């Protein structure tokens, strides 16, 4: 039996106004709350960003490249509870106090199948020690990295493709902008700028 997820409903001013099921929220295009965590790493003075490849089993955006770790916050949860997404999807132990908030962004994706209006609570985790990732196969097909400068070039349309390196296999994959989850351009640009500025 599937579990019915209840999420908090927000208005267009990011004020909580009620509770509804996840399915109803997506069908009706109601504002709700999500947790987004982007992993970055510095190597030899250059910054890299981690992207996840969504599992082929995912209902939405299967086999698209996406935020390092993310998920919906239940009506009973706060953004601090969102740290579970990092543990579940990536299999690493990260404390919420180790994250740097980069603010709340509007993340709106409208398709014939879904009307997704999110208040995304966005965070950055800076990888400073070697990590052994254990991916949640139902959610994540692979974890990959690329130079942040390359990712920015892809987002701003300055590069038609970029190369991503699978952190587990070492395989290099060539990716286009169309292979990313279709978050709004404004969202991606805000993330890129925040990742560049993160200390």
Query: Per the structure block, which two tokens stand in for 187?
Result: 């969202």
Asked if the model's pLDDT at residue 2 lies above 60, the reply is no
Other CB atoms within a 10 A radius of the CB of residue 137 amount to 10
* Cα–Cα distance, 188 to 105 (Å, whole number): 10
Other CB atoms within a 10 A radius of the CB of residue 88 amount to 15
Query: Per the structure block, which two tokens stand in for 23?
Result: 């399915």
pLDDT of 47-80, one tens digit each?
A: 999 999 999 999 889 999 999 999 999 999 999 9
Burial (0-12, 13-18, 19+ Cβ within 10 Å), 199: exposed
pLDDT at 60: 86
Percent of the chain with pLDDT over 90: 93
pLDDT of 77-112, one tens digit each?
A: 999 999 999 999 999 999 999 999 999 999 999 888
Sign of CA dihedral 38, 39, 42, 43: negative
pLDDT of 11-20, one tens digit each?
A: 999 999 999 9
Asked if the model's pLDDT at residue 1 lies above 60, the reply is no
pTM comes to 0.95
pLDDT of 130-187, one tens digit each?
A: 899 999 999 999 999 999 999 999 999 999 999 999 999 999 999 999 999 999 999 9
**Where does the chain show beta strands of DSSP type E?**
6-10, 16-21, 31-43, 46-54, 65-66, 69-72, 100-110, 115-127, 140-147, 161-166, 172-176
């Amino acid at each position: 039996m599937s579990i019915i997820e209840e999420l908090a409903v927000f208005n267009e001013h990011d004020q909580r106004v009620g509770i509804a099921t996840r399915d109803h929220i997506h069908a009706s295009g109601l504002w709700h709350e999500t947790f987004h965590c982007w992993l970055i790493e510095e190597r030899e003075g250059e910054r890299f960003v981690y992207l996840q490849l969504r599992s082929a089993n995912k209902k939405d955006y299967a086999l698209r490249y996406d935020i390092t770790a993310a998920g919906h916050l239940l009506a009973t949860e706060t953004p601090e509870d969102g740290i579970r997404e990092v543990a579940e999807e990536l299999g690493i132990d990260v404390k919420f106090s180790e994250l740097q908030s980069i603010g709340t962004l509007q993340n709106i994706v409208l398709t014939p199948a879904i009307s997704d209006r999110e208040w995304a609570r966005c965070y950055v985790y800076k990888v400073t020690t070697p990590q052994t990732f254990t991916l949640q196969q139902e959610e994540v097909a692979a974890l990959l990295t690329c130079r942040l400068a390359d990712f920015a070039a892809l987002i701003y349309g300055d590069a038609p493709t970029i190369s991503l390196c699978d952190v587990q296999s070492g395989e290099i994959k060539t990716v286009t902008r169309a292979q990313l989850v279709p978050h709004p351009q404004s969202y991606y640009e805000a993330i890129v700028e925040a990742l560049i500025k993160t200390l």
